[in-house]
Structure 1
């Protein structure tokens, strides 16, 4: 099934999203590189699993249609510039609007899954929206938002890279300590792997850890989204 570009209208304006599949909704939250081939491939994979996968363009307020890779220093610098100027709160608002869109246009429940910057946004999605089930991969700066953990009322899974270059051991411990008492939250820590261990083709891709994390994610969504 081929994906398509759809438009989501919000009180702040309209932005595009990549969409593929049919079934329960799943908002796929981008990394710092925009909606690139990696994100489209993830949507296509989730579509094959039976979901309506939707990846919203969260950088649209700065520049619509950002599409970078992790292959050159120039693109990394651009990606970090977008991340540093990104409004986290507005991003979560856009995810909430995408969830609403998925509920209006799809069938059944709606969840979310995010990677890198999207891992943080996935955590905040669990805190601030009505996502039915949420997964975050190697989210950065989650420890800065632990005061919102008490708002999590639906299932959340976080995948943590033990050797994450962007999330040191103290930050990881803070995440684990801050979330371990929340009955809706499950954390998995993967030893010996770095940030973005699940990004196929990436420098730190680890097939074994990625396979385990993705298997856990698949079961999690099967259990909670149906």
Structure 2
């Protein structure tokens, strides 16, 4: 079940979002705060949320671009927040996490985060916040990782912007003693988990991102993250 919601941000702004709940199973559910890619809230992000809900997770996508009228400016501001490690977008994500934790359908002790592209960078930042049980960043910006919760990360080998970061991240998580599953898919580029929308999205496959949906990789990444969530978020060892 997927519904449009609004929640109160820390500054009083009525922040919209999309909440997707499982259709089966008994609440309270384990939950995920999902942060979308640079294309913003679109059908592909909603589809991924439904796919995760079908596995038993309540999924909230806060609309971090809702405060602005020009998407490019929203992306630039969000990127600045990622680089600084603080800012309004992180405040809005935290407000969304608290709202989700207060829902009667959600187990507040079992909340993780997942993000794609720009959202993947937020998911990696949040992995070190101490507020999430698990994090699943996809093709995020390369960045230092001083600390982390259990982490399952996915990258495309054809994506020049993240080249080598998967290996560095795996080495760092091993050094930290953090449970992890990091994989770089040789045949995939950036944004392999979703279909980039519109003409600009289609043209990104000709950029250093090599951004293009890659079904076999998307299916394997979904399988991996669900298996990881089963163990480190749900407390189960395998996919039912």
Q: Please state which band the TM-score falls in when normalised by the shorter chain.
A: 0.7 to 0.9
Q: Deviations 1:167-214 (Å, cap 9, x if unpaired)?
A: 234x55544444341222431111131101111467511121111111
Whether 1:60 and 2:55 are equivalent positions in the alignment is no
Structure 2 counterpart of 1:210: 218
Where does the alignment leave 5 or more consecutive residues of structure 1 unmatched? Answer: 64-77
Say if 1:21 and 1:47, in contact at 8 Å, map to a contact too: yes
Structure 2 counterpart of 1:95: 93
Alignment of 1:18-167 (within 5 A): 18-22=18-22, 23-63=29-69, 79-86=71-78, 87-88=81-82, 89=86, 90-105=88-103, 106-108=105-107, 109-140=110-141, 142-143=142-143, 146=144, 149-152=145-148, 154-167=149-162
Q: Secondary structure at the match of 1:16?
A: strand
Structure 1 counterpart of 2:173: 179
**Structure 1 residue 8: deviation in Å?**
1.5
**Structure 1 residue 159: deviation in Å?**
0.7
- Using the size of structure 2 for normalisation, the TM-score is 0.76
- Using the size of structure 1 for normalisation, the TM-score is 0.81
Whether 1:10 and 2:6 are equivalent positions in the alignment is no
Q: Secondary structure at the match of 2:50?
A: helix
Q: For structure 1, which segment, 45-54 or 87-96, has the greater mean C-alpha deviation from structure 2 after superposition?
A: 87-96
Say if 1:30 and 1:39, in contact at 8 Å, map to a contact too: yes
Q: Distance in 1 between matches of 2:63 and 2:20?
A: 15
Q: Distance in 2 between matches of 1:118 and 1:132?
A: 17
**Structure 1 residue 32: deviation in Å?**
0.7
**Structure 1 residue 81: deviation in Å?**
4.0
Where does the alignment leave 5 or more consecutive residues of structure 2 unmatched? Answer: 23-28, 203-211, 235-240
Q: Distance in 2 between matches of 1:132 and 1:165?
A: 30
Q: Secondary structure at the match of 1:131?
A: coil
Structure 2 counterpart of 1:67: none
Q: Distance in 2 between matches of 1:156 and 1:218?
A: 12
Structure 1 counterpart of 2:208: none
Instruction: Give the RMSD, CA atoms, in angstroms.
Output: 2.1
